[in-house]
Amino acid sequence: MSYFFDSKNTEQMPKGRVEGIAKVTGKAKYSAEYDIPDVTYGVMVGSTIASGRILKMQIEEAMKAPGVIDILSHENKPYVSGFSGMKEMPDNRFGLPIFYTDKVYYNDQPIAMVVAETIEDAMFAASLVKAEYEEAIPETDFAKKAKEVSLKETENDRGSVGAWENAPYKVDQEYTIATEVHNPMEMHATIAQWKPNDKLVLYDKNQGVNRVQSVISSLFDIPTDNIHVISEFVGGGFGSGLRVWPHTIAAVMAAQQVKRPVKVMLTRPQMFTMVGYRPESWQRVKLGADKDGKFLGVIHQAKNISSKIQGFSDGITRVTRKIYGFKNVKTEEAIVDLNVPMPTWNRGPGDTTGCFGVESAIDELCHELKLDPVDVRLKNIAPYEMETGLPWSTNYLNECLEKGAELIGWKNRNPVPGSQKEGDYKIGYGVAVGMWGSGRSYTGASIDMQKDGVITVRTAMTDIGTGTGTGMQNVAHTVTGIPKSKIKIELGNSDFPKAPSQGGSRGMASVSSAVYAASLALKRKVAGYAWPDKDANTLNIDDISLSDKGITYKDSFLPYADIFGKNNLNDIKVEEFAGPGEERKKYGFCSSAAHFYKVKVHEKTGKIKMDRMVIVADAGRIINPKAAANQVIGAGAGGIGMGLLEEQLIDFKTGRLIGNDLAGYHFAVNADVPLIEVSFIGKPDPNINPSGAKGLGEVGIIGAAPAIANAVFNATGKRVRDIPITVERFF
Ligand code: MOS
């Protein structure tokens, strides 16, 4: 029996998001929106230099300002056990030891936080806080310093380097990508409230409540159970919510210091410096092939920007070891530490960057050999997971390529660059692919049934806008039989069963299994109450079904009212956990996608317009086609940003960011985005988990930027190896 998506079952057909009405009516509360009695407001103050030391904080003026309660800094802070006794960082788990150092590592590093009665008072006072510094000359120029930093082996090489050196056809090119900033719509925010007996409540924007719990627990030396983290609604993340940032720690410290709740919400410019970004990168790809385009060897080198506080490697060459059947691979990486804010994971971290290099190089090779880029990719599909030698559980990258080629009309493309025109535009077609390891993690879910048959499904996992809750409702409905109108979903709360952070395309693959297990457990438990004479554990689970009215087992039916009545029950509760198992030792797991794009390039202005975007993804079973397509559309829009628009610039002299707001930093907006045509292969992966769903989010963007650059080459004959492809780089 198939429990999952069935097009004949209209109850299963895609509807809106479970949280849709709450979000569009303003009923959904984001972290900064909770009304907490007696709350105070914290505003972060950033350093005005990029390197050096604070000699003295100058807070006298600010302290006299109206409404000010206290000003935290390294000169005035509560005891934090995790920071005390910590010597000079470099490799601590917490990033910046906020208020526990007088050192300045980057411009706009938080050096103080004003706590005041109102947000206006706090902002005004924050503008008066100054510091006396001992200034050093900052290192801020990635391109310059990258040249001085040596590469290190990643220790995952296979085969021989000679395979590349002796290949009859070779590409050897360098590629760069600018820093990109996540900038979800919702600002990062925390409300910290201490309660008696060392208990702490945090309303916090993040992608994983249990992670926040454990970081705060070890920093402040209080048990995780004492910390209640609530992130019921999250207005986007893209990776910025995967770690705990200084403003959250500052809120907890301030609440301890002033003995009142403290609310901190970052400003938009602070979103550029205080919650990470995709690090600027350099890559060199050496790709060798025979005359038929069969890859013989690859050498992939990469460097990414990192901060002075904590090393961050983006893992740029990881994808190269996975994506094709390369027998000979050498990968080398390095981080380049500068006086810049801390980078972190962003939108398909590492692989999105690495694929720009590799997928561009393949296009260059195909052009040189006059081979079709789709054929060459099909010829080089990895026959098994090359790094482990394990057979693929499922890998339908070939079908993604074939279907995408069909949908965009690839066979009509003229491979000669600059040969196709529509009006004032040159047009071009490009292809690139992406792959991402399909993970899953140990995850819990509970179901609580009330007398009226309404069930509430809960997990600690957050839904950052990806449709997790909606997918959970699909699973609970298809497994139990209870109509969706009677299934409530609650997420993002550390009081609910433990779950991993939502990120790395693991959400649905993880939580669907827990909801599946809890749904089965609920059926058995209700059956046990309904027919105490039968052993519920031995009944065939497929013979049991629940509806809005009651339970059916073969020909017997019992209404919920009777079951609850005769057993004297208020509710029926189950909680189940599910995680990866032996299958991980037997198979390799991957999700993949093919991106087929058509661009138009204005002949006179060089304006590049995305004309068509076809994205075909293999993410196993698609639990909710509408939410899944939404996710890929969002990722594709992110791909346009990466390929054409997004670029965080820095003033090398001061280390300050340039254009650090939504006017100065350009995202793809609706006018930049064509109708993105999304298709799924949709074949369940039989081994990954009971739902057959593999991860999806990342592959919507991995491969997007090179598909754009390759299409621009086809349109114009100009190969752009440095993205975004802004007019000045290109025309
Ligand atoms: Mo992400 S970078 O999968 O939040």
Torsion on CA atoms 370, 373, 377, 378, rounded to nearest 10: -90
How many helices and strands (H and E) does the chain possess?
A: 18, 30
Band (pLDDT 50/70/90 cuts) for residue 13 is low
Residue 129: phi, psi to the nearest 5? -75, 130
pLDDT at 5 over 60: no
Same structural domain, 342 and 354: yes
Is 677 part of the annotated catalytic residue set? no
pLDDT of residue 403: 97
Which residues span the domain enclosing 68? 34-137+204-236+241-266
Q: How many angstroms does the Cα of residue 240 sit away from the middle of ligand 1? A: 8
CA of 632 to the centre of ligand 1 (A): 13
DSSP for 275-341? S--BPPEEEEEEEEE-TT--EEEEEEEEEEEEESSS-----TTGGGGTSB--SSEEEEEEEEEESSP
Atom number of ligand 1 nearest to Cα 348: 2
Q: Which residues are 338's β-sheet partners?
A: 307
The alpha carbon of 238 and the centre of ligand 1 are apart by a number of angstroms equal to: 5
Ligand 1 close to Cβ of residue 434 (< 6 A): no
- Helix-helix angle 351-369:704-716, to 10 degrees: 30
| DSSP output for 366-399 | HHHHT--HHHHHHHTB-SS-TTT-PPBS---HHH
Residues 149-204: tens digit of each pLDDT: 999 999 889 999 999 999 999 999 999 999 999 999 999 999 999 999 999 999 99
Question: Residue 698 C-alpha to ligand 1 middle, in angstroms?
Answer: 7
How high is the pLDDT of residue 10?
A: 55
From 347, 440, 466, 702, mutation site for ligand 1 pocket: most ligand atoms within 8 A of C-beta? 347
How far, in Å, is the centroid of ligand 1 from the Cα of 199?
30
Summary mean pLDDT of the chain: 95
17 lies in the same domain as 121: no
Compute the CA torsion angle 420, 425, 428, 433 (nearest 10 deg): -170
Does any domain span residue 159? no
Strand partners, 455: 449, 487
20 and 83 both lie in a single domain: no
* CB of 503 sitting under 6 A from ligand 1: yes
Same domain, yes or no: 70 and 39: yes
**Ligand 1: nearest atom to the Cα of 345:** 2
CA 319 to chain centroid, in Å, comes to: 16
Question: What is the atom index within ligand 1 of the atom nearest the CA of 504?
Answer: 3
> Does the CB atom of residue 507 touch ligand 1 within 6 A?
no
pLDDT of residue 86: 61
Closest by Cα among 530, 514, 526, 512 to 573: 526
Same domain, 634 and 717: yes
On the question of pLDDT at 262 being above 60, the answer is yes
**Cβ neighbours of residue 654 closer than 8 Å, sequence gap 6 or more:** 49, 50, 107, 138
CA of 331 to the centre of ligand 1 (A): 23
Cβ–Cβ under 8 Å, residues 116 and 69: yes
Buried b (16+ CB within 10 A) or exposed e, 119-129: bebbebbbebb
Q: Kindly report the backbone phi and psi dihedral angles of residue 390, in degrees, each rounded to the nearest multiple of 5, phi listed first.
A: -80, 150
Residues 720 and 618 in one domain: yes
Give distance in angstroms: CA of 239 to centre of ligand 1: 4
CA of 209 to the centre of ligand 1 (A): 15
Do 129 and 266 touch, CB atoms closer than 8 A?
no
C-alpha 561/C-alpha 481 separation (Å) is 18
Please indicate whether residue 239, judged by its CB atom, sits closer than 6 Å to ligand 1: yes
Using a 6 Å cutoff on CB, does residue 346 contact ligand 1? yes
Distance 464 CA to ligand 1 centre (A): 10
Q: Which atom of ligand 1 lies nearest, measured to the CA of 697?
A: 3
Q: Render 593-648 in DSSP notation, one character per residue.
A: EEEEEEEEEETTT--EEEEEEEEEEE-BS-S-HHHHHHHHHHHHHHHHIIIII---
For residue 501, which atom of ligand 1 is closest to its CA? 4
Q: How far is CA 650 from CA 272, 338, 350, 560, 647, in A?
A: 11, 12, 22, 64, 10
The DSSP element (H or E) to which 128 belongs, if any, is helix 119-128
Determine the distance separating the centroid of ligand 1 and the alpha carbon of 503, expressed in angstroms.
Answer: 4
Residue where a domain terminates, one of 579, 606, 638: 579
* Sign (positive or negative) of CA dihedral 314, 315, 316, 322: negative
Domain boundary among 544, 563, 579: 579
Q: Whose CA is nearest to atom 4 of ligand 1?
A: 239
Residues 658 and 546 in one domain: no
* CA neighbor of 378 nearest in space, from 147, 189, 594: 594
The SS3 call for residue 474 is helix
DSSP state for residue 76 in the 8-state scheme: B
Query: CA 270, CA 335: separation in Å to the nearest integer?
Result: 24
Residue 272, domain member (yes or no): no
pLDDT tens-digit map of 338-393 = 999 999 999 999 999 999 999 999 999 999 999 999 999 999 999 999 999 999 99
Instruction: Output the 3-class SS for 235-268.
Output: CCCCCCCCCCCHHHHHHHHHHHHHCCCEEEECCH
In contact, 683 and 4? CB cutoff 8 Å: no
Angle, in degrees to the nearest 10, between helices 507-530 and 468-480:
30
Both 635 and 601 in one domain: the answer is: yes
Q: Which of 139, 280, 364, 698 is catalytic?
A: 698
Taking alpha carbons only, the member of 619, 82, 605 closest to residue 397 is 619
211 falls within a domain = yes
Residues 433 and 414: their CA atoms lie apart, in Å, by 20
Atom of ligand 1 nearest to the CA of 698: 3
∠ CA(430), CA(615), CA(677), 5° rounding? 110
Q: How confident is the model at residue 130 (pLDDT cuts 50, 70, 90)?
A: very high
Q: Looking at the domain assignment, is residue 146 inside a domain?
A: no
Tell me the average pLDDT across 483-489: 96
Mutate to test the pocket of ligand 1, among 238, 352, 436 (most ligand atoms within 8 A of CB): 238
237 lines ligand 1 (CB under 6 A): yes
* Pairwise CA distance, residues 78 & 317, whole Å: 42
Which of 10-14, 158-162, 494-498 is most confident? Answer: 494-498
Tell me if 345 CB under 6 Å of ligand 1.
yes
Task: Check which CATH number belongs to the domain holding 93 and give it.
Answer: 3.90.1170.50
| Residue 78 forms part of a structural domain | yes
* Segment holding 69, helix H or strand E: strand 68-73
Which residues have C-beta within 8 Å of that of residue 671, sequence separation ≥ 6? none
Distance CA 116, CA 70 (A): 7
**CA dihedral sign of residues 533, 536, 540, 543:** positive
Inter-axis angle of helices 704-716 and 625-640, to 10 degrees? 50
Contact between 693 and 687 under an 8 Å Cβ cutoff? The reply is no
In a domain, residue 115? The reply is yes
Inter-helix orientation angle 209-220/246-258, to 10°: 50
- Tell me which of 188, 345, 506 to substitute to probe ligand 1's pocket, judged by most ligand atoms within 8 Å of the beta carbon: 345
Asked whether residue 403 falls in the same domain as residue 302, the answer is: yes
Structure confidence by residue, pLDDT tens digits, 423-476: 999 999 999 999 999 999 999 999 999 999 999 999 999 999 999 999 999 999
Domain's final residue, options 540, 559, 579: 579
Residue located via tokens 């900038």:
183
- Angle value at C-alpha 651, between 647 and 654, nearest 5 degrees: 145
Q: Which pLDDT tens digit goes with each residue over 540-598?
A: 999 999 999 999 999 999 999 999 999 999 999 999 999 999 999 999 999 999 999 99
Same domain, yes or no: 646 and 558: no
Atom of ligand 1 nearest to the CA of 239: 4
- The secondary structure of 180-222 as a DSSP string is B----SSPPEEEEEEETTTEEEEEE--S-HHHHHHHHHHHHT-
Residue 312 lies in a domain: yes
Using one digit for the tens of pLDDT, what is the confidence trace for 272-300? 999 999 999 999 999 999 999 999 999 99
Residues 22 and 61 occupy one common structural domain: no
Q: Is the CB of 504 under 6 A from ligand 1?
A: yes
Q: Show Cβ contacts of residue 64 under 8 Å, excluding neighbours closer than 6 positions.
A: none
Q: Output the CA angle 240-490-444, nearest 5 degrees.
A: 80
Token pair 């003295």: residue: 56
* Residue 237 Cα to ligand 1 middle (Å): 7
242 CB within 6 A, ligand 1: yes
Query: ipTM score here?
Result: 0.98
Q: Which atom of ligand 1 is nearest to the CA of 506?
A: 3
The CATH number of residue 16's host domain is 3.30.365.10
211 pocket-lining for ligand 1 (C-beta < 6 Å): no
Ligand 1, closest atom to CA 242? 4
pLDDT of residue 89: 46
By DSSP bridging, strand 487-490 and strand 544-546 are unpaired
**325 and 471 part of one domain:** no
What is the number of structural domains in the chain? Answer: 3
- Tell me which of 183, 242, 344 to substitute to probe ligand 1's pocket, judged by most ligand atoms within 8 Å of the beta carbon: 242
In the prediction, which pLDDT does 11 show? 57
| Ligand 1 neighbour 700 (Cβ under 6 A) | no
Closest to 17 (Cα-Cα) out of 469, 511, 680, 505: 469
The response to whether residue 349 sits with its C-beta less than 6 Å from ligand 1 reads: yes
Between the CA of 576 and the centroid of ligand 1 the distance, in Å, is: 26
Q: Give me 211's structure tokens.
A: 């992670």
* Per-residue pLDDT tens digits for 381-436: 999 999 999 999 999 999 999 999 999 999 999 999 999 999 999 999 999 999 99
* Inside any domain, residue 627: yes
Q: How far apart are CA 26 and CA 265, in angstroms?
A: 18
